[in-house]
Amino acid sequence: MKTRSIDLQPGSPFPGDTEEDILKVNAHLHTPYSFSAFRDVDDALDRAVAEEVKVVGINDFYTTEGYSAWAEGCSKRKLYPLFGIEFISLNEEDQKAGLRVNDPANPGRTYLSGKGLSHPFRLEEPYATLLSNVRNEANRQVEAMCEKLNELLRQKNCGFTLDFKQLTDELTKGLIRERHLAKALRMSVYKACDNDESGIKELLDKLFDGKLLKSSLDDFAGVENEIRSNLLKAGGAAFVPEDAAAFLPMETVQEIIIAAGGIPTYPFLADDANGNYTDFENDPERVAKQLTERGFHSAEFITTRNDVRLLEKYAAYLYEQGFVVTFGSEHNTPAMEPVELFARGGVPLTDKLMEINYKGACVIAAHQHLVKQGLNGYVDQNGYADRSKRSELEALGDQLFVNTTVK
């Protein structure tokens, strides 16, 4: 993609000529190792190739099990791999204050990403056990939801129940999410009704206590989202609240990410369809200051959520303040969207956003490269970042991309 070079202060124009190839980057993609719209890692990477996205970041919930397949798949396709992870943490102070951070429904609950983790992955104690315990707790909660869902299926005389072990073995790579449960129920309902349209609708209406299905039956993502909304979310017959053990403190998650060689990263929810923000995010100057005070030097956006103008306003301001800023698409729902990034409504990213994202990916790649050699990357072993060195890492990452991908 040809795009003009933009002077993003502070720092000089980058790569420096009047016109350069800016590689397409998607720095946040979930795979079936957590939950994903993709069939498998090859599916994700083949789509990236088809859409000319050259730099791709795996970013699964609570697991790094997909790293080897990601690295191998990228190598075969001349893509540059970035290695990330995602957590849901809890800031008790924010929770007590009723402050909504980046979860609009749950004060204090804070999604966090780690960028540029070590590959091969390594994590010393006590952090390895902490990560394992959180993963196990997440699985336990979904297993409890499955039990409640089976109770409902028996009460409604549906003629079948879900086998938790079987669905774990067949639909997951070890980590099970409530979306897997919704998918398993949708598949079981269709099978029990021999794919008969009227029978499927009747059975789902019965499970939804008379609430009619809105989605077309061939819209699997839509049907699964309605199952999740009606049965598995708060107020649903199979809902099980998450135990406090499912959420590590925000500071502990940051420590785990740093111990794994990564960069703690704050994922912005940013503007909703009405242009509203959460309490924490509604002032760019204040949130940049607070994130810095909390030890964050990196931020990201899932671009399909946001208006392109407001996205550029926030991303450019954060970049100006010295943050590393990257974008992604997640793909952690059943709906298949492009791997190439767009803003809300399919609006293309601006040249400025393309360059901000590219530079952010350059820093993450450089960080991975340096840490693998036993050196400090963008953040050191204490999580400190010298933001004045960012441009040096941008240049190193750019060179790494040139050496790996085809511009």
Nearest-angstrom CA–CA distance, 377 and 261 = 9
Nearest-angstrom CA–CA distance, 54 and 84 = 16
User: For 204-217, how does the pLDDT look when each residue is reduced to its tens digit (9 = 90+)?
Assistant: 999 999 899 999 99
User: For 282-295, how does the pLDDT look when each residue is reduced to its tens digit (9 = 90+)?
Assistant: 999 999 999 999 99
Nearest-angstrom CA–CA distance, 180 and 133 = 20
CB 227, CB 233: distance < 8 Å? no
Which residue in 26, 54, 29 sits closest to 40, CA to CA?
29
Burial of 244 (0-12, 13-18, 19+ CB in 10 A): exposed
pLDDT at 404: 84
Confidence category of residue 66, pLDDT binned at 50, 70, 90: very high
Q: Which domains does the chain have, with CATH numbers?
A: 2-122+260-404 (3.20.20.140), 132-232 (no CATH)
Q: Is the pLDDT of residue 5 over 70?
A: no
Q: Is the pLDDT of residue 407 over 70?
A: no
Tally of CB atoms within 10 A around 41: 23
Q: Is the pLDDT of residue 28 over 60?
A: yes
Confidence category of residue 142, pLDDT binned at 50, 70, 90: very high
Confidence category of residue 392, pLDDT binned at 50, 70, 90: very high
User: For 307-317, how does the pLDDT look when each residue is reduced to its tens digit (9 = 90+)?
Assistant: 999 999 999 99
Rounded to 5°, the CA angle 332-22-395 comes to 100
Neighbour-count burial for 3-14, b at 16+ CB within 10 Å, e otherwise: bebbebeeeeeb
pLDDT at 6: 39
The one-letter amino acid at 383: G
Q: Which of 85-94, 170-179, 299-308 has the lowest mean pLDDT?
A: 170-179
pLDDT at 245: 73
The one-letter amino acid at 39: R
Residues linked to residue 2 through DSSP beta bridges, in sequence order: 21
pLDDT at 4: 31
User: For 226-267, how does the pLDDT look when each residue is reduced to its tens digit (9 = 90+)?
Assistant: 999 999 998 899 999 877 777 899 999 999 999 999 999 999
Confidence category of residue 406, pLDDT binned at 50, 70, 90: low
Nearest-angstrom CA–CA distance, 258 and 177 = 25
The one-letter amino acid at 264: P
User: For 150-181, how does the pLDDT look when each residue is reduced to its tens digit (9 = 90+)?
Assistant: 999 999 999 999 999 999 999 998 889 999 99
Q: Is the pLDDT of residue 14 over 70?
A: no
Q: What percent of the chain has pLDDT over 90?
A: 86
pLDDT at 181: 96
User: For 189-207, how does the pLDDT look when each residue is reduced to its tens digit (9 = 90+)?
Assistant: 999 999 999 999 999 999 9
**Ramachandran bin of 116, using left for φ above 0, alpha for ψ from -120 to 50, beta for the remaining angles:** left
CB 94, CB 107: distance < 8 Å? yes
DSSP-assigned letters across all residues of 350-398: PHHHHHHHHHHHHHHHHHHHHHHTTS--SB-TTS-B-GGGHHHHHHHHH
pLDDT at 335: 87
Query: Is 276 in a helix, a strand, or coil?
Result: coil
Maximum CA pair distance of the chain?
Answer: 69
Query: Is 55 in a helix, a strand, or coil?
Result: strand
Torsion angle of C-alpha atoms 255, 258, 263, 265, degrees rounded to 10? -10
Confidence category of residue 20, pLDDT binned at 50, 70, 90: low
Average pLDDT taken over every residue of the chain? 92
Q: Which of 2-11, 118-127, 293-302, 306-315 has the lowest mean pLDDT?
A: 2-11
Which residue in 219, 173, 165, 166 sits closest to 40, CA to CA?
173
Helices in 28-91 by DSSP H: which ranges? 41-50, 67-77
Query: Is 86 in a helix, a strand, or coil?
Result: strand
Q: Which of 9-13, 18-22, 121-125, 323-327 has the lowest mean pLDDT?
A: 9-13
